[in-house]
Amino acid sequence: MSSFYRSLAAYEPLIYIALAIWGLFVLRSMFRNWLDWRNSVFGLEREFSLRRLVRSTALGLLVLGLIFAEFFLATFVVPSLPGLDALATPTLNLLVTPANTLLPDAATQAALSPATQVAAPNGMSGCVPDEIMIESPKPGGPATGTVTLNGTVNVPNFGFYKYEVSAMGSNLWATIAAGDTLVKQSRLGDWDTTTLANGDYFLQLVVVDNAGKTLEPCVIAVRVDN
């Protein structure tokens, strides 16, 4: 349903133009029916004219209602949608299948190969304090068992966030979980690392605004050690 609302917002100008053209025809019909009703002499003729006037008036009210509904959806409903399409996608099952196929030796070998991800020397990339930040686990630190992710997601026009994991040397990201509320130096969610083989991984925090634009993710390097 949210994708339907976004389509209505995306084509807002065209919808207004179509409704305006329809409204002009309806107004023309209302005016002609009103003239017929006013100039009617006989009772039966006057009754038919009145019925046509009522129908054209109802159509006019329908056009006004559609214009108001489009304005309300585009102005108030769509900007408040928290990226539900992305949140509704299955996530945890995606993590289990590709991750467990990477054995520790393979992960180590992949870490020595040219990686798609780029991390700074401190094991962190793209993170902005007080805006998009992973504060724990620490970059380069160990991740064991179920890890609680703490950090900050505090950006204008916020839509939703998600955090993902990828083996070093791979450009395949698996979504762990997502959230639709702002977070300030607090809990983002949990990560069950037992579904992964031990080795080096990248963990990234991705933020999407309410217009569907993906901001630069905060990426850190971690070592799964169970």
Reported in sequence order, the residue ranges of 6-145 that DSSP labels E, i.e. its strands, are 124-125, 132-136, 142-143
CA pair distance 126, 132, nearest whole angstrom:
8
Q: Which residues contact 23 (CB under 8 A, 6 or more apart)?
A: 60, 63, 64, 67
Q: What is the pLDDT of residues 207-221, one digit of tens each?
A: 999 888 999 999 999
The answer to whether the beta carbons of residues 219 and 204 sit under 8 Å apart is yes
Three-class SS of residue 201? strand
Instruction: Give, rounded to a whole angstrom, the gap between the first and last alpha carbons of the chain.
Output: 41
pTM above 0.75, yes or no: no
CA pair distance 30, 38, nearest whole angstrom:
12
Q: What is the pLDDT of residues 65-121, one digit of tens each?
A: 999 998 888 888 777 665 444 444 444 333 333 333 334 443 333 333 333 444 444
CATH number of 84-224: 2.60.40.10
Can you state the percent helix, strand and coil of the chain, rounding each to 5? 45, 30, 30
